[in-house]
Structure 1
Amino acid sequence: MEDMPLYVLLVALIVLLILSAFFSLSETSMMAINRYRLKHLVKEGHRGARLTSRLLLNTDRLLGVILLGNNLLNAAAATLVAVIISSFFGQNDLALLIGTVCVTFAILVFSEITPKVIAAAYPERIALASSYVLTPLLKVFYPVVWFVNLFVQALLTILRLKPREDSAAQKLNLEELKTLVLEAGHFIRKKHQSMLLNLFDLETVTVDDVMVPRGQIEAIDLDADDEIIHNQLLTCHHTRLPVYRGTPDNVTGIIHVRKVLNQMRNGEVTAAILEKIMREPYFIPSGTPLFSQLQLFQENHERVGLIVDEYGEWMGLVALEDIVEEIIGEFTTHAPTQAGILVKQEEDGSVIVEGSSLLRDLNRKLGLRLPLGGPKTLNGLILEYFQDIPEAGTSLKIADYPMEVVQTQDRVVKVVRIFPSLVSVAGTGEPVTDHQP
């Protein structure tokens, strides 16, 4: 080799550095490629994607052939530099030291760092192209790679390390999936992004968080006079109404107003007629996740359910529309008589809201961060804070938000003033109400 012309040795050195750069490119691109994008390309029938996917199924073999080629080429480059130095300077130690430093610098710059930076920037393009070369190389050098991996596996066993399978390593939990949706803002419309995030939350949100409280539900008393029942049906704002006898605790059924209108053609509607056309009430245990309840509504062909606690007490009502609105946002027309979230902003920046407002709705409307782990309404949160019924004019602070109790009535907090500093109010001045169908 020492008898070869200098230009031949230099050309051979350049070729070795280029080949080493190829393996560095391949290593980084294979490890950095988006696995979900790769699966998509495989489904579309991309041949390079299929080869890349097969290589990544056995990461130890893939890294074995890449590092085998990379290290062999780097060692050959260092040996070639030593030959060039010895042919010109003999066994001069200083010349060998300078040559070693130079070849190390060349390998780092041209065969390691630069190729890996490029591969990290364009992993998909490089990985798919390099798979055409790595696949036959792995077949040729498989015996060597297999022999080396025997020692690797033995060392991992001694260290009690068990590499995860590729499929397990690529699984995403719910929070990671949310982050993925948030980071995909350029590809998913803002509205669709919000709907996907709301859909993920259906497993953590329960029917208690979205129900219409019992005190706000419009219902019909079968023991009332027929004239009162008739007038109530003519002025109701909902398509489905609970029916009870005597007290609201004694719910006997659900009526659909459309069926009642058909009966009105023959005269006034009486309690006896309502008993004939009403359906059995559909009860929902408190704490049922929204996603589970959505499936139950579908399986049972129901649209409205009455929520009961562990003692069988009626707590409120939830409709299919309530769950749908949790996913896509509010879309229905609310009843004008419904006492829901009344948002009114004062000149001093404070906001007047109903005490019966759901905390989730307040957080959504006002951009607050009120705790959701306990009570579901603002009234319940304040009562829990004081462990008593506060008087009007009492001030407090919850979750760093100053509040003032404006009005109390019948053992509940009716109106509250909130000082949401640096928080803009969505839909200021517009009454936003809970609803039932």
Structure 2
Amino acid sequence: MSEDKPPSSQTTNKTWLERIGQMFQGEVQSQEELVEFIQDAGDRALIDSYTQDMIHGVLNVSRKRVRDIMIPRSQMVVLENNNTIAKTIEVITQSSHSRFPVISEDKDNVEGMLLAKDIIPLTLDGDIENQVITNIIRPCVIVPESKKVDVLLREFRAKRYHMAVVVDEYGGVSGLVTIEDILEEIVGEIEDESAIDETITEDIKKVGKQVYSIAALTTLEDFNQYFDTKFDESEVDTIGGLITKEFGHLPSSGEEIQLMEYQFKVIKADSRRLVQLQVKVPTTESQT
């Protein structure tokens, strides 16, 4: 066998990146051609579908601005700078987030950010009803909504921060963006720890005197049985389906609705479905 031609086994052992590199040498003239090469590589099984999707994700990120992927202002979960530790723990528990913008008067007045882990030392002395979070607020990164997403990702990595508040051209807060938002553009939705816990813990959990956390996929039958309610099970199967039906649209995080004497709040939703709800039950409710 000629030494100029490596064995076929060596070729097949090359990584997909090396193969793509060989195909691209001197041939690709535009991003459109690059997309065609990626599609062709997938069709010929040189790369698998997951790798193909990731490459497309990287290309898409290079074309997007922060405004395209940010969490809108209306869906931001924030803390007020005079919140007590007890109130802050309640918000953290309900939202399952780990980082929060801290505001003063309104969402246009961001004082900084708070990491959920910074709360832990303050709970040790037991005075959580009177202590406020002012002394543990960290500086917050501000970025314009016109910033390119790939540039922001490099800054996230270089400066080792994970969240930024997004402002418009007039300086008003328009949303926030996290490193997870960018990574999901590349690899798809990333399930967090709380989402995993939903599959291995009970769908209905008591989190306050009259407040329960409810997985949106909890069946109406189970909900009715647990709370001794009589919501109609003939048209929808889940409590999330009922809430969506009553809203008349797919609600966003933070939206609330009252059905009978039960106050429902959307805690988590994606672009296709509700994920987690909170319900405040009537004062006569004695469920545990």
1:243 and 1:255 in contact (8 A); partners too: yes
Is 2:288 aligned against 1:431?
Answer: no
2:82 and 2:132 in contact (8 A); partners too: no
Is 2:34 aligned against 1:177?
Answer: yes
The residue type paired with residue 311 of structure 1 is Y
Q: Distance in 1 between matches of 2:104 and 2:111?
A: 7
The 3 A distance-change label for structure 1 pair 428 and 298 is closer
More strand by share: 2
1:239, distance to aligned residue in structure 2 (A): 0.5
The 3 A distance-change label for structure 1 pair 306 and 291 is same
How many residue pairs get aligned? The number is: 195
Counterparts of 1:53-202 in structure 2, within 5 Å, are: 170-185=27-42, 186-202=45-61
1:195-243 Cα shifts (integer Å, max 9, x gaps): 1111111111121111111111111112356653453345441111111
Is 2:152 aligned against 1:309?
Answer: no
Q: When the two structures are superposed, what TM-score results if normalisation uses the length of structure 1?
A: 0.39
Instruction: State the SS of the aligned residue for 2:147.
Output: coil
1:223 and 1:271 in contact (8 A); partners too: no
Is 2:155 aligned against 1:296?
Answer: yes
Aligned Cα root-mean-square deviation (Å): 3.8
The 3 A distance-change label for structure 1 pair 317 and 268 is farther
1:230 and 1:270 in contact (8 A); partners too: no
The 3 A distance-change label for structure 1 pair 244 and 187 is same
Q: Distance in 1 between matches of 2:61 and 2:37?
A: 18
Q: Distance in 1 between matches of 2:90 and 2:172?
A: 28
Q: Distance in 1 between matches of 2:177 and 2:215?
A: 15
The 3 A distance-change label for structure 1 pair 312 and 270 is farther
Which position in structure 2 is the counterpart of 1:354?
A: 250
The residue type paired with residue 320 of structure 1 is I
1:173, distance to aligned residue in structure 2 (A): 1.6
Q: Distance in 2 between matches of 1:203 and 1:210?
A: 12
Q: Which moved more, 1:300-309 or 1:205-214?
A: 205-214
Percent identity of paired positions between Structure 1 and Structure 2: 25
Q: Distance in 1 between matches of 2:84 and 2:99?
A: 20
Counterparts of 1:241-280 in structure 2, within 5 Å, are: 241-269=100-128, 274-280=133-139
1:62-96 Cα shifts (integer Å, max 9, x gaps): xxxxxxxxxxxxxxxxxxxxxxxxxxxxxxxxxxx
Structure of larger gyration radius: 1
2:85 and 2:123 in contact (8 A); partners too: no
Which position in structure 1 is the counterpart of 2:72?
A: 213
Q: Distance in 2 between matches of 1:207 and 1:269?
A: 37
Which position in structure 2 is the counterpart of 1:283?
A: 142
1:250-280 Cα shifts (integer Å, max 9, x gaps): 1101111011122211223478652222211
1:344-372 Cα shifts (integer Å, max 9, x gaps): 7xxxxxxx753769xxxxxxxxxxxxxxx
1:189, distance to aligned residue in structure 2 (A): 0.4
1:301, distance to aligned residue in structure 2 (A): 1.1
Q: Distance in 1 between matches of 2:164 and 2:36?
A: 34
Instruction: State the SS of the aligned residue for 1:297.
Output: helix
1:214 and 1:316 in contact (8 A); partners too: yes
1:183, distance to aligned residue in structure 2 (A): 0.8
Is 2:167 aligned against 1:328?
Answer: no
The 3 A distance-change label for structure 1 pair 311 and 331 is same
The 3 A distance-change label for structure 1 pair 225 and 176 is same
1:48, distance to aligned residue in structure 2 (A): 7.2
Q: Which has the higher contact order (CA 8 A, sep 6+)?
A: 2
1:304, distance to aligned residue in structure 2 (A): 0.4
Structure 1 residue runs of 5 or longer lacking an equivalent are 1-44, 50-166, 345-351, 358-426
1:432, distance to aligned residue in structure 2 (A): 6.1
1:206 and 1:288 in contact (8 A); partners too: yes
1:203 and 1:290 in contact (8 A); partners too: yes
The residue type paired with residue 286 of structure 1 is E
1:431, distance to aligned residue in structure 2 (A): 3.0
2:84 and 2:132 in contact (8 A); partners too: no
1:295, distance to aligned residue in structure 2 (A): 0.3
1:245, distance to aligned residue in structure 2 (A): 1.1
Instruction: State the SS of the aligned residue for 2:50.
Output: helix
The 3 A distance-change label for structure 1 pair 200 and 271 is farther
Structure 2 residue runs of 5 or longer lacking an equivalent are 7-23, 196-212, 217-239, 242-247, 254-269, 277-288
